[in-house]
Amino acid sequence: MAADSAQIQGLLNSLNGKHGILGCLLVSPEGGVASSSLPADIDVSTLAALSATLFSNNDVSIQRMNRGNLVQMTLLTDQGILHFYQVAGHYVVVLTAKGQKINLEGLIRSVEEQSSSLAAMIG
């Protein structure tokens, strides 16, 4: 990665608390943890591996439907929102806190804005 891990960590930390964001995870295409701003009680290794698989499998499905390449996706669960954004060959995974009132448009916009900075760091 072009930037040092402290810069990437700082960028992920800057999203925490905005629009109900609990924390973020930067995942390599292979499912490894590149950086995390998630609380310590979350198993980030498992989350990273499953997130990479989930995004990759959905990307293949989207392509088979002739709808292009998957760039981002949002999943709503009974535990909150998981938002995925592909940036520079990696995935940013954003989790919201349970029970939060979420401004989804604001969340997506914030992630897109920070991801352009992140792309320059990773690139």
Q: Which amino acid is at 91?
A: Y
Cα–Cα distance for residue pair 87/115, rounded to 1 Å:
6
What pTM was estimated for this model as a whole?
0.91
pLDDT at 1 over 80: no
- Structural domains in the chain plus CATH codes: 5-122 (3.30.450.30)
pLDDT tens for 30-77 read 999 999 999 999 999 999 999 999 999 999 999 999 999 999 999 999
User: How many Å apart are CA 61 and CA 21, to the nearest integer?
Assistant: 28
